[in-house]
Every structure is written in structure tokens, then in C-alpha cells.
Chains A and B, each alone.
Chain A
């Protein structure tokens, strides 16, 4: 289509994406957002102004060529649009669903200055889902078939590890990914619930990564069954550590070991990875009481609260010690949670969990908070209001307070420099750690963050690993 004849869609708002009705969806684990039809996608793609100097790309941690793929959608060349995204992003159907686009590409979109930005995330999702609906994804980009440039071990098969592995495979490396769980995907399979990210989609994108020649070995806990030094001894040229931030925090308040208190990690792993919501068809049980409190204000808290509702809880509370403004969760997640009837108990902090003689939770004592001066995180510090103690009537408490890095690898790898919070020190641009040939990226370096930031780190590390191994083999 000639540029002169093109008439952009000047609607101020995004083409709405169909969603399951809140009343219906709280009774199932099926996906909430249903995705664009081809006609809707083309309509939304027309909202792109094709800026001469597009800013959206600067907001993407993996540099997807956004205006180009949107143009291909507008021209109804959907499979080519998918391949355009794949050049930079190996997991588009996942990113289209879980990236915080509002803080990244869409934040920088010119259309956002007067109205809503172009729905880049929805379009990315559309292109990936469209291709997946065709046999062989509508034809795969060619895989190079030459002498491998070297061998790389990737530890962890979450977003950072998968991205690093896929990029290295594309660059001509033999890559082995080691995963501790029985299923690859990391937080994409154990953490993010089915209704936000269907596991069949994660599996599909992992199959795509495997089709690049990446070998994934499950049930391998590196640091226990093999050390990083042993991997080098086996002939790997470099190692990438993308083991995430897997250890749950607790509040360290009385009653936390009562039956009915769980970390969000445990709850979500039971529900998502082990499919506890389908017990007894699946063997792993998961239990929620009639009333459930989820403590925390991040995306994980929203996920846990919404899962609890779908498991049959009558009342689910989000208990958060600051106000809604300080909540780290995505707006969209908060919105969905409210729509589904989750009650927000803000400026509320638990001080003790009460139990019965058999050891089960019977309530949670909380205090009310008020906001004081900004603290180290820049957010206003919550202060306890004296005399505001009250009991929230619950049978289940889920702690979604954040996570810290797993020390298994750090403890078994001499010479690896660590941060104060137990993460691995790595160069931001390359992922290089204090050990030669060892790179790291994702939550193990930054602490708990997002899928796409981990992918960005995996991508940078893949490039640095390629340079390192090439130089080493030449030298």
C-alpha cells in the first residue's frame, strides 16, 4: 500500500480485546483475554503512525522491530509479522501476554500522548497465535546446519535461560539447558497461572526453541548433581546462569507455620505446575479455605488471589501495607482482580496468625498503617497506627512478599561474587560474572523482576558468550 493512500485509524482508544465475562471466568482456569481476530488486529495495526523515528523500539528490552511487524499485520502478512518478531524475540506469544507493555514499548508510543497507545502487546500476541494455528507455524525460519561454534550450558529454563539458549543456537552453538523441575519453563510454568498464560502456549514456544537444536535436560539440579566446574570439565565453553529468584520470603510473625499458611510459590506451584486445580484427576492437592488472605501487592499476589477465587474461595482479600498507588502489580492485573470481586485491604499489615488446637489457621491479626516519608525504595514508608489491631477472618493465608535468589549454585561455585541479597554480580551489558566463562542474567542478578527483563538479559549474555567463545577459540 502506498504511503500517500494510507489512512491511519485515528481512534483514540485501542480496539478492545474480547475477554471472558468476570462472573463466568472466576469459575474456570481458562484464559481471561481472548485475543484479536484478524480483522481486529488489522484495525488496531492501522493505528500505528509509522513514525520516522519510532520510540517504541527503545522501550523493548529485546529490540523487537515493532513498526515493521505492525506494518506486516496491517498488510495481512501475519506469518511474516510473526517471523519479524521472532528475529529478536523467541517467545512472542508469552511476551504478548505477560509483558508490562504500559511501562515499555507502549509507554513511548506517540499515540499515547493523545489517547491510548497502539496495542503493541495484543498485536504481538495475535501474530504468534495466528502462526501457531497453522501447520508448522506457517513455515519455520531456516535453522543453520553447520559445524557448531562451541558448547554452552544454560542453567535454568525460565525466560532468561530460554532466550539465551535460543539466541546461541541461532548463532551456531550446541546448547544444553539444565532444568531442576520435571517440566521446562521456570516461572512461566510454575508461577504464572493458566488463565493469564496457558501452559499449552508455553509448551509451544519451548518446542520452537527446541526446534532450533536446543537440548533441554529436566530433573537436573545444578549445584547438586553437577557443579559448574564439572560442566567446564565436560567440555562446555561457557555457562549461563538463569536460575531466577526462587526462594520465598515470609513475614517472620507468630503463627506462620500453621496449616493453611503457604508461600505464593508453594500455592502457585501446586496450582500451575502440578495442576492442583484438577485434583483428584491430578494427584497433587491444593487447599483453600472459605476465606483467603493474600499478603502482598505485586503481580504474584494478584495471581494467587485470582487462583484462590477459582478454587472456590468465597471471599479473597489482598492485604497490603501501603496504598494502591505503591502497589507493584500491573494496573491491568489489579483491574482484573477487582473485576472478579477480590477485596483490597490496603494500608493493612499482618502481625500474627491465629490457629486452633489442631494447628489450622482461624484468623489473622492485622494493624492499620499510614504513609510517612519516602523510604529507600522511594515509596512512602508505612507506619503502624497504634491501637488499630483487628482480626481478619480467614482460613488460608498466602504470603506473596517477594522472593530471593536460590543459593544452590553460588554455594557450589568458588570465585562467584555475590550481591548483598545473595544474587550473582554480573555486568549489566554482558552478563559477565566474576568467573571467566560464567555469565548470568535475569532474577538471579536483579532480584525478582519481569519476564521480559530476564529475556533482555539472556539476549545480551548470548551475544557476549558468542564473542567470548569466538575469541577464546581463535586465541
Chain B
């Protein structure tokens, strides 16, 4: 259980692992997440299930090394085990009765929407996909996702691939050209999801965003992941992680995400010091 069968480096500090856990693989659905812990003194962090293979009994997880836990996870190699892995948590994405959908994946977001895009393709939904990244080296899983998309657009901040600018520029152009969608699915940095939601609101396009706030248990017990949606408090772990982007109070989510920034920085500095010390 929890053995890493495959590991790939997708971009600098962005890694993909395929983990053996037949229990979770049997039940996982697009949009759900796992919580994992890497070692005995480690923190519990939520990570989206990028893909799953029920027959092989595996889960695919893509993550970026941004803090101590993800950095330690990135140092595990094929054959190593993840200490604790629990899931599938959260509600699956509702992908029923969709004719045409536009999917916006920013940064790591492309990896996180892979299972949704595959599922929609299976159900006969036409999918346009917009991938955004800072530069061409950070574009991930393009080959994996493209067979399931009718159109795939790329935007980079520096123009090294595709459109020079933001994913929202591409989305706006598609909408202004008269493309009609039943739904937008936006997954990526909070600020990107906020800007996408603000844009699609003007077009009356229903928009689903996926939240990844700080969590502890992931089963509704602690309430750390709470956010305001349409004026009501919701728990991302059990009521989400996906919500109506037009109703999410993004400014509050952004503030709450920074709650432990000082501690996260300290933990990372101490880790780097110990890694440099050859420990």
C-alpha cells in the first residue's frame, strides 16, 4: 500500500507520482482529493487526485514543491512508500448533461483537471482547454490532456509558447467570438480562478472552481478549510472542494491561505538547512 510505482519530473519542482492504493483507486472520482503525510512528525496536506486507474489500483498525484511536505514528498523515489494516504475525500465533480465545456488550467491546474477532462470526453462532452503557465517550460501534461480536447490553447506570461498573456485573454476571445459553453471549469492559482470568475460572470457562464485551502483532517471535523460561498460558510473538505466561482469570496480565501505563511517559511528554511547539512 501507498508505494510509489512511478515518478516523473514534469517541470522544475513539479512532479508526478503514481501511487499504489487499490482502496482509494476503486472509489476515486474526478474532482476528489487525498490527504497525505510523509513522515512521523509531518503535517497532513490535501492534494488533488489527478488521475486514477481502477484496474491497476493506482492514483496519480501531481504536486509542486512549495513547502516542507511537498519538498519531502518530492524526495521520495519509486519503490518508496507514503506514510499515510487517506481518501478519496470531498465531493466528485458533477459532469452530467454537459454539451460543451471550457476548461482553464493554470500552472499545476492542468494536472488537476486531467481526470475531469477524460471523464467528459468519455461522456461525449466537447471540451476546449486553455492551459496557462509563466513560461513554456512550466507547461505540463499537454500531451496527456490534448487527445481529450477539441481545441487546446496555450498562454504564457512571457510569450514563449502560445498567446503572450493570461488565460483570461484567451477565454475572453473565445467568448467574444461567439463560442457558447454550458460551463467553465477553472483550476489553478486563487488569483487566476478569481479573475476567470469575474470574467465569466459578465458572460453569464456558470463557472466551477476548485479550492485547496489549509486542511487538517479533511472529513469536516476541524473547519480550518472554511470559506464563504454566497454569504454562507462552507467547509471545502466536505461541501467542496468545488464551488460556484461566482459565489466564492476569493479575497477571504486568499487571506486565510496565508494564515501560516511565517511558520511555513520557517519550516522550509530549517529543512533546507538540514538538507544542505547532508542530513
Contact = CB atoms under 8 A, between A and B. Distances in A.
B191 interface: no
Interface in B102-136: none
A279 B270 CA distance: 11
B233 to A, nearest CB: 6
B42 interface: yes
A280 B263 contact: yes
B88 A265 contact: no
Nearest to B255: A359
Interface in A249-293: 250, 252, 256-257, 259, 262-263, 265-266, 269-270, 274-275, 279-285, 287
Q: Binding site of A, secondary structure by majority: helix, strand, loop or mixed?
A: loop
A262 B267 CA distance: 22
B10 interface: no
A134 interface: no
B24 interface: yes
Q: Output the residue of A219, A225, A263, A287 with the most chain B CB within 10 A.
A: A219
Interface string B23-42: 11001000000000100011
B217 A257 contact: no
B220 A274 contact: no
A248 interface: yes
Given A274-B43, A358-B255, A280 B267 contact: yes
Contacts of B69: 283
A226 interface: yes
Contact of B41 (A180, A282, A407): A282
A284 B89 CA distance: 20
A270 B223 CA distance: 12
Interface in B241-279: 252, 255-256, 258-260, 263-264, 266-267, 270
Contact of B252 (A220, A250, A359, A407): A359
A221 B41 CA distance: 22
B174 interface: no
A283 B41 contact: yes
Interface in A215-232: 218-221, 224-226
Contacts of B44: 182, 274, 284
A54 interface: no
A246 B88 contact: no
B216 A270 contact: yes
A408 B218 CA distance: 12
Given A180-B219, A266-B216, A270-B216, A218 B84 contact: yes
Interface stretch (B165-173, B197-205, B224-232): B224-232
Contact of A182 (B86, B89, B222, B252): B86
A283 B41 CA distance: 6
Nearest to A279: B263
A269 B226 contact: no
A181 interface: yes
B25 to A, nearest CB: 10
A376 to B, nearest CB: 26
B9 interface: no
Contact of B84 (A219, A252, A266): A219
A182 to B, nearest CB: 4
A144 to B, nearest CB: 30
A226 B24 CA distance: 9
A250 B223 contact: yes
B188 interface: no
Given A226-B23, A259-B255, A266-B224, A285 B219 contact: no
A221 B216 contact: no
Contact of B222 (A269, A280, A283): A269
A359 B228 CA distance: 14
Contacts of A262: 223-224
B233 A221 contact: no
Nearest to B249: A257
Contacts of A282: 41
A180 B259 CA distance: 26
A182 B84 CA distance: 6
Q: Binding site of B, secondary structure by majority: helix, strand, loop or mixed?
A: mixed
A256 B267 contact: no
Nearest to B89: A224
Interface residues of A, number: 40
A143 B257 CA distance: 51
B260 A287 contact: yes
Interface string B67-90: 011000000000000011111110
Given A248-B221, A256-B233, A225 B41 contact: no
Interface in B32-61: 37, 41-44
Contacts of B224: 262, 266
A388 B260 CA distance: 35
A406 interface: yes
Contacts of A263: 222-223
Interface in A120-175: none
B266 A224 contact: no
Contact of B88 (A225, A248, A275): A225
Contacts of A284: 43-44, 216
A446 B215 CA distance: 27
Nearest to B225: A266
Nearest to A281: B41
B217 A180 contact: yes
Interface string A304-330: 000000000000000000000000000
Nearest to A179: B86
Q: Output the residue of B68, B69, B238 with the most chain A CB within 10 A.
A: B238
Interface string A406-439: 1110000000000000000000000000000000
B212 to A, nearest CB: 17
A225 B255 contact: no
A247 B43 contact: no
Contact of B233 (A250, A283, A407): A250
B115 to A, nearest CB: 17
A270 B252 CA distance: 22
A279 B262 CA distance: 12
Q: Output the residue of A280, A358, A408 with the most chain B CB within 10 A.
A: A280
A283 B43 contact: yes
Given A257-B227, A262-B224, A274-B44, A181 B267 contact: no
B86 A285 contact: no
8 contacts: A182-B86, A221-B86, A248-B222, A263-B223, A269-B222, A285-B260, A287-B263, A407-B220
Interface of A: 180-182, 190, 218-221, 224-226, 246-248, 250, 252, 256-257, 259, 262-263, 265-266, 269-270, 274-275, 279-285, 287, 358-359, 406-408
Listed from nearest, the 9 A-B pairs whose CB atoms lie closest are A359-B255, A285-B263, A266-B222, A283-B43, A219-B86, A182-B84, A263-B223, A246-B221, A282-B41
Given A279-B263, A408-B219, 10 more contacts: A218-B84, A220-B86, A225-B24, A247-B220, A248-B223, A263-B223, A265-B223, A266-B224, A280-B266, A284-B44
